[in-house]
Structure 1
Amino acid sequence: MKKLLTMALSVSLLCNAQASDLFKPVKEVALRAPSVPLVMADPYLSIWSPYDKLTEGSTKHWTNASKPLVGALRVDGKVYRFMGKDKQNLQPIAPMTDVEVWEGAFTRQTPSQGWTEMEFDDSSWKRGKAAFGTRDMPRIHTEWRDDDIWVRRAFNMDNLDADDNIYLIYSHDDVFELYLNGEKLVGTDYSWNNDVQLQLTETAKKKLRNGKNVIAAHCHNTTGGAYLDFGIYREKKQTASFTTEAIQKNVSVLPTQTYYTFSCGPVELDVVFTAPQLMDDLDLMSTPINYISYQVRPMDKKQHDVQFYLEATPELALNEQTQPTIARSFTRNGLSYVEAGTIDQPICDRKGDGICIDWGYAYLASGNSTDRSLSLGDYYGMKESFINEGDLLTPQTKWITRQVTDMPAMAYAHDLGAVSKEGKSGYVMIGYDDIYSIEYMYEKRMAYWKHDGKVTIFDAFEKAKENYNAVMERCRDYDEMLMNDAEKAGGKEYAELCALAYRQVISAHKLFTDKEGNLLFFSKENNSNGCINTVDLTYPSAPLFLVYNPDLQKAMMTSIFEYSASGRWNKPFAAHDLGTYPIANGQVYGGDMPIEESGNMVVLAAAISKIEGNADYAKKYWDILTIWTDYLAEYGQDPENQLCTDDFAGHWAHNANLSIKAIMGVAGYSEMARMLGLDEVADKYGAIAKKMAVKWEQMANEGDHYRLAFDRKDTWSQKYNIIWDKMWNLNLFPNDVISKEVAYYLTKQNPYGLPLDSRKEYTKSDWIMWSAALSPDKATFGKFISPIYKYANETVTRVPLSDWHHTDSGKFVGFKARSVVGGYWMQVLMNKMHKK
């Protein structure tokens, strides 16, 4: 039986002017984010703007799926759009598969010359239904996985008008080219994009003709998923839209808040997106509600008539746009709501990487007493009403959608009335209630904030409204603390990078408890394979949680310990993961990482003990830690050929950095034993670690630096795992290993950072932050940070912060929106530990 999960988008008002400082960031930020965090809660409620200006395009989920939020301000009868873009009213000529399944000719063999031309004879090609690609992609009817595919699609056109606006829409994964009647319109490099809209130029339109036309496309799959779908559309004329853009004056990304300021004709509009993800308040941090606050004031000292508009659609609750939805309006506890979500509600049925949630309901809720502050209705009619009247359509009580073209508007309007020099303001709440968040060991579990169903989403919205001012002040204080800590540790550029990473880290997790009441905090391995609670994501993300809430660090580790303790995992080393998000019933990864994951778990247990000043947490799992540590001691000195977290260029045996991880695991175990009063055990393993470190230095020594692998001359790599030797003041490694490595790294930097190792020019920015923390002083540390800042500030890859990028071009290789950038806080952690 299907159970209800609720996705909520709620709106509430504060009609009186708010404190002016709520709209001014506690620190001005200069960093241009590759993608700007807007609405953040967990891996499913994650909405970004991948543009310099908030008006440049539709807001998106981190997967690049459209999750449209549109905002507009009406000033003296003229409307200015400040967020998102209107969905164009496009009539299909040859629609994509979200409207209908189409058939084309295709081949997997390189075609003869002229295959793009309309007259080309493709009768020898196979016939197949779109979309083409791997089964993990949406609406696949013809499977294609490896290498290349060529597809030709014929369509008929009638009543061709030179004044028509014609749009090509396409989705692809990876390298893609497309032709219309022989004219090349699209050519990409290694990338994947969904529903790209390309308006045909006048030259391209001249290639069209009444009657038969042909779109020809070629896609090359480099690795992983493959996908191909395309169509052509005509824009319906005389559609009401918010065509005039507000002028964006600035944007600042702070840890929990993003600040925008716009000019809308004679008035200025401030908009603040707030995710109250405060780690010192787990209820607040895990409650899936964000605020969007707005303030309007005249710039010409005159009075102006102003109305505010916010719009969402049921797309917030969809994975595929073909999924049928139902929307309703109702009232509860004095608040009016509009609700929308999928009809089927397949709770936790879909698992994987690049997917969006398709259960739950989006809500708009308003406490405004005006008749039509909240409405559900026709997408274009709603805009027309606001443009002409500053008001909304009379709300519909129910709206069923079976095609994306029929999506309604879920709209809210606030009539601010006459705005004078004092200004006026309000706020909007956006939320998401997945009543059951995770399936953990074959039992569905609710999010932490629900306290096993004692708290509902409506309770949460009412509380969020009641506590708005207090929460906003707390977020400002929290931002200031985080920024001050980071700036003191590593400078202004470092602090701004940490600010950009913060919400990304928290929102890549879900907080809940198991049936015994243990706190669990599971990551989703975004854009890398979709695993849940991956140990080698837990390890790099650890610094943030070790600094600000070690209980969350434990909450990532407890389930891995319990997995071994239960007997479900019976190998003498730690598991890699617990499944594929949101299903956590046991490891699904195809290969083990014995040294990697065991070292991660033992080192992190020691790090928690060092932070807390006791080994109480480790004591609960001492038998398991002992098994893993013995494995590290026996096999970690000179690791055999095995998977590790940095094997992008292939996994080599005798990996020197992996050996350091094993050594630090043994040393960490010794430190914990000492805390537990097990002095003989501590002495024994301390001596083992020291002996291993001395031997390591001899085996890896390459003169002025140390090798990537013990048997590979003229190689090097970042030895970030040695950070714990410095942090814990153990001095295990002789002959100034750390200072030699740091000096050598500075000779290997490229414009956008330090490469991961000598094999490739790409890097992992989380590990750079760890390596940078080995620096002897703040000035040296800054030399490592500036190229990473330059990367984030200049990269042309507009995705949520990627941790894997090319250091020569600044383009990302892969990975986005991942939790590992919690590793950016390593220098803050170092400062904290050295003050103890």
Structure 2
Amino acid sequence: MLPYHLCLLLMAHATQSLALTFDANGDALPAYSPARPPAVPLAVRTPYLSAWSSTGEKGTLNSGNPIFWTGDALGWTGIVTVDGILQSLPKLPNYLAASPQTVAYDSSYSNFTFSAGPVDITASFFSPVLPKDLCRTSIPLSYLTTTVQSTDGMPHSIQFYSDINSAWMAGGANGFMNWEIFRNGASINSTDNGTGNCTGNVTVLDLRTRVTYALLETSDRPDWGRVAYSTQPMGAQHFSFQSGSALDLRYNYVNSHGLAKTHVDSDYHGTYTDEAIFAYVHDFGLVSSAEVRYTVGLIQDPFIRYLTQGGVAQLEPWWKSCYNDMFSMIRLHWDDFMVTQELASQADSQLASDVDAFYEVRAPVPSPSIPVQTPDASSTWCATALPTETLAPYLHDSSDGYGFLDPDNFTGLGVPDASESDSYYAIVALSARQVMGSFVYAIPPPTSSCNVSSPGRGEPLMFMKEISSDGNVNTLDVLFPAAPFFLYANPEILKYALETIFQLQEGGFYPNGFTMHDVGASFPNATGHLGGEDEAMPVEESGNLILMSYAYYKFSGNSDWLRTHYPTLSQSASYLLEFSKVPAAQLSTDDFAGTMINQTNLGIKGIIALQAMSLMSRLSPTPSPEDGDGAAAPVTVTDATVRAYYRDWESYGIAPTRDHALLAYQWRSSWGLLYNIYFDKLLNLGIVAKPVYTMQSRWYARVSQLYGVPLDSRHHYTKSDWQLWAAATCAASTRRMFVTSIAYWLNNTVTGFPLTDLYETIGDGGYPRVPDAVTFKARPVVGGHFALLALLRTGQTASSEAGDTTGSLFTLNGTNALNNTEQGGYGSPGHGSLLVDRSDEIRGEGT
């Protein structure tokens, strides 16, 4: 198979670049804005529609293979021909690949610009992030717009070529495929050379495997469903399409700038034999500017297998509640382009505005909307390495791992002269599509409490894939780190996911006395664990369920939903009452690090969850014995119990030097990121004493490395999601250290796959270098990067201090003002201070 890349070709002479770093074509690497991602998202909409362009090993869009999130190549080729006829393959004498200029991204767009002699070329990949728009979010399609603009004031001969192969499907590698072409929903048999007047027609390639294995995947790719690749003539003088051998079609195109008028052959087979492709060509003739748009998608129907009281049901995708069929969805998605553009622009502007609001600054963050403006590299610190003269008097010695620290006071300044707000925007904008591309919405079964009675009504269920780790469905300890994104963007999404946990547990499908780990061992099968054989994380998941449920209520104000599931939450609390204070040997969410006895961070999670449970108990009256079938009354969690547990936790989990929390109880040489106290601050629970926040903030600055703070004292690796949870609990200088160090890692890491959350804080910022280390890619836990913006939804900003309780370590002298409320509703539109009812303020005496 030919290398899959966007190959922009023209007749021109090479020009000498002054840059010192070049891609595989010999061109200078582009300027990146707002940062250089390890991989740039191209089409990222679902766990199966996930296409990226790696920047690893100096890769660019037109010098390397676009990849699936696993790193395997995808077949999606583009050629723009300017003023020339190509003579032969593979050598193209007198022709050069276009030179990359810029790569800019925001939360929905990735825009690439190229210089091609007398024209500029832009390839704009658009996967809209609209968390509050259920119908548009449920569409498993992504846009690509390619434009050519003359730079010399003269018209030029312009042709666009694009093809895809069958590698998008699991069976595409070596199995036979069915290729069929549709126009306006009707099958057509041959390429009939449309004209520019056919602007109302949408041509759709429909690619399917001959043998379908419904609701199964191989190597993380679907064994069922359809690939849909669509376009319109877009005003081209000549528009053609054809399927056939990759070598034949590409050879014919570069010789004739068109495709032969042949039937679409459904007998071509997989990519590992005689590679079959399907190609579109738009020939515009002599023009000063031209634009072509495509949409690409993977469409599965049904999408999820789900265990219900009526048996195992095959759930339909949510888009079917909004659109009549696949072809009407494709057509309406095509026609909706400009409206969706506007909505995505508004959403990203709001994201940038919210970042500024958190930091209480006014400077706007540029958004790479079309047309892309070439960024000024001199003002974009992310585009190049920081000059050494800006580092004095800070240390930067990558050989020993220490970077950017003031040796006199260890304030952990992170990257000097970098804007924290710009750095944070670069992180969250890159993370947004990755989170949204990890889950799907499904129409609930008729027996579900979220039943849909008619198209467009009701609520979906959300199913998230634990991408690149276990492949589980709706893993609670993956939803938990991702929760800040949902709480910030749309708390209802969190409810749609948690509802599946409650339905399976309340349906009698889980035998254990603690909270289940996930709703299915392998996506897309959410068939539960009837034998209770899921990965056991009892304290972790019981605490996660309580905290996320309470957080959803606080951000939505939906107390009815909380009351409905109170008995199940009470069961989780019963387990925590017995085991959270001294959790013994258990796994935490960081299961790659193994089981550990009495983890300090795990213990405080359970205690914070118990505090949340004590507040929830005031919303749900305790049932009397006659209320139902002899069921046990929900457990009662008192403030006094929680305070007693907390005092013991401090005595077990704080170092004798009282300057940091231990990794595990009484392990005096250990330390770790105490990220679980974030929910104490987020929900204003007030259980963690302010001196603990201050202590940890100072400690992180002392143990930081080049790319941030290690996860714990055993290794140099860290997790970016937990770092930003910890950052949200720290003083401004330490928070800045975390944020700018992660942004600095983005620009310098050698990882070349979709954003990882687990990497080395020293050296080249690569994947963990320990035996049996895991390699995480494209995981939804990067939703944790929105930890600061979730705080904004509660009225907290960069100047807000954590831990408004009084007292000192161990003694907690004085009044413990918890300042809690039983009124939800953080998640109102916009940002800034939100009204909080403090009429039911809790005050308890400390000891």
Q: Does 1:701 align with 2:654?
A: yes
Separation in structure 2 between the aligned mates of residue 684 and residue 409 of structure 1, nearest angstrom: 63
Please state how far the C-alpha of 1:599 moved relative to its aligned partner.
0.2
Instruction: Give yes or no for contact 1:70–1:312 (8 Å, CA) kept in 2.
Output: yes
| TM-score (ref. length: structure 2) | 0.73
Please state how far the C-alpha of 1:372 moved relative to its aligned partner.
4.2
**Which residue pairs with 2:137 in the alignment?**
285
1:418 to 275, 286, 305: 286
Separation in structure 1 between the aligned mates of residue 647 and residue 689 of structure 2, nearest angstrom: 6
Gaps of 5+ in 1: 1-26, 81-235
Q: Which residue identity does 1:831 align to in structure 2?
A: L
Deviations for 1:493-545, whole angstroms, at most 9, x for unmatched residues?
01111111111111111111321325221111111111111111010000010
Q: Does 1:791 align with 2:660?
A: no
Please state how far the C-alpha of 1:614 moved relative to its aligned partner.
4.3
Gaps of 5+ in 2: 1-30, 186-200, 360-420, 452-458, 624-632, 769-774, 796-832, 835-847
2:644 to 683, 691, 713: 691
**Which residue pairs with 1:585 in the alignment?**
527
Separation in structure 1 between the aligned mates of residue 223 and residue 643 of structure 2, nearest angstrom: 53
Distance 1:382 1:735, change over 3 A: closer
Separation in structure 2 between the aligned mates of residue 799 and residue 435 of structure 1, nearest angstrom: 29
Distance 1:301 1:732, change over 3 A: same
Q: Does 1:721 align with 2:587?
A: no
Q: Does 1:378 align with 2:251?
A: no
DSSP-derived class of the 2:261 partner: coil
**Which residue pairs with 1:86 in the alignment?**
none
Distance 1:530 1:598, change over 3 A: same
Separation in structure 1 between the aligned mates of residue 690 and residue 37 of structure 2, nearest angstrom: 41
Distance 1:544 1:243, change over 3 A: farther
**Which residue pairs with 1:800 in the alignment?**
754
**Which residue pairs with 1:439 in the alignment?**
305
**Which residue pairs with 2:53 in the alignment?**
49
Please state how far the C-alpha of 1:600 moved relative to its aligned partner.
0.2
Instruction: Give yes or no for contact 1:372–1:394 (8 Å, CA) kept in 2.
Output: no
DSSP-derived class of the 1:736 partner: helix
Please state how far the C-alpha of 1:734 moved relative to its aligned partner.
3.1
Q: Does 1:563 align with 2:433?
A: no
Instruction: Give yes or no for contact 2:244–2:268 (8 Å, CA) kept in 1.
Output: no
DSSP-derived class of the 2:204 partner: strand
2:277 to 409, 412, 430: 409
Separation in structure 2 between the aligned mates of residue 28 and residue 642 of structure 1, nearest angstrom: 43
Separation in structure 2 between the aligned mates of residue 395 and residue 379 of structure 1, nearest angstrom: 15
Instruction: Give yes or no for contact 1:598–1:632 (8 Å, CA) kept in 2.
Output: yes
Distance 1:739 1:450, change over 3 A: same
Separation in structure 2 between the aligned mates of residue 329 and residue 832 of structure 1, nearest angstrom: 47
2:479 to 538, 557, 573: 538
DSSP-derived class of the 2:266 partner: strand
Please state how far the C-alpha of 1:676 moved relative to its aligned partner.
4.6
Q: Does 1:331 align with 2:183?
A: yes
Instruction: Give yes or no for contact 1:348–1:439 (8 Å, CA) kept in 2.
Output: yes
Instruction: Say which is worse superposed, 400-409 or 700-709, in terms of deviation.
Output: 400-409
2:152 to 285, 300, 322: 300
Counterparts of 1:157-168 in structure 2, within 5 Å, are none
Separation in structure 2 between the aligned mates of residue 65 and residue 282 of structure 1, nearest angstrom: 30
**Which residue pairs with 2:778 in the alignment?**
817
DSSP-derived class of the 2:147 partner: strand
Q: Which residue identity does 1:253 align to in structure 2?
A: Y
2:100 to 242, 248, 255: 248
Distance 1:319 1:694, change over 3 A: farther
Separation in structure 1 between the aligned mates of residue 761 and residue 60 of structure 2, nearest angstrom: 26
Separation in structure 2 between the aligned mates of residue 366 and residue 795 of structure 1, nearest angstrom: 37
Q: Which residue identity does 2:67 align to in structure 1?
A: K
Distance 1:688 1:340, change over 3 A: same
Q: Which residue identity does 2:70 align to in structure 1?
A: T
**Which residue pairs with 2:491 in the alignment?**
550
1:59 to 66, 69, 77: 66
Distance 1:614 1:356, change over 3 A: closer
Please state how far the C-alpha of 1:397 moved relative to its aligned partner.
2.7
**Which residue pairs with 2:608 in the alignment?**
664
1:465 to 331, 334, 351: 334
Instruction: Give yes or no for contact 2:721–2:757 (8 Å, CA) kept in 1.
Output: yes
Instruction: Give yes or no for contact 1:544–1:824 (8 Å, CA) kept in 2.
Output: yes
Distance 1:656 1:791, change over 3 A: same
Instruction: Give yes or no for contact 2:613–2:637 (8 Å, CA) kept in 1.
Output: no
Sequence identity (%): 29
**Which residue pairs with 2:618 in the alignment?**
674
Instruction: Give yes or no for contact 1:296–1:419 (8 Å, CA) kept in 2.
Output: no
Q: Does 1:828 align with 2:789?
A: yes
Separation in structure 2 between the aligned mates of residue 337 and residue 729 of structure 1, nearest angstrom: 52
Distance 1:685 1:402, change over 3 A: same
Deviations for 1:435-458, whole angstroms, at most 9, x for unmatched residues?
111111122111111129x63121
**Which residue pairs with 1:498 in the alignment?**
428
Counterparts of 1:197-212 in structure 2, within 5 Å, are none
DSSP-derived class of the 2:504 partner: helix
Instruction: Give yes or no for contact 2:170–2:217 (8 Å, CA) kept in 1.
Output: no
| TM-score (ref. length: structure 1) | 0.74
Query: What RMSD, in angstroms, separates the aligned Cα atoms of the two structures?
Result: 2.5
**Which residue pairs with 1:97 in the alignment?**
none
**Which residue pairs with 1:71 in the alignment?**
78
Deviations for 1:221-263, whole angstroms, at most 9, x for unmatched residues?
xxxxxxxxxxxxxxx9768899732111101121111111111
**Which residue pairs with 1:87 in the alignment?**
none
DSSP-derived class of the 2:205 partner: strand
Separation in structure 2 between the aligned mates of residue 401 and residue 389 of structure 1, nearest angstrom: 23
DSSP-derived class of the 1:385 partner: helix
Q: Which residue identity does 1:803 align to in structure 2?
A: D
Please state how far the C-alpha of 1:409 moved relative to its aligned partner.
2.4
Q: Which residue identity does 1:662 align to in structure 2?
A: G
1:733 to 676, 688, 693: 688
Q: Does 1:364 align with 2:229?
A: yes
Please state how far the C-alpha of 1:690 moved relative to its aligned partner.
2.0
DSSP-derived class of the 1:744 partner: helix
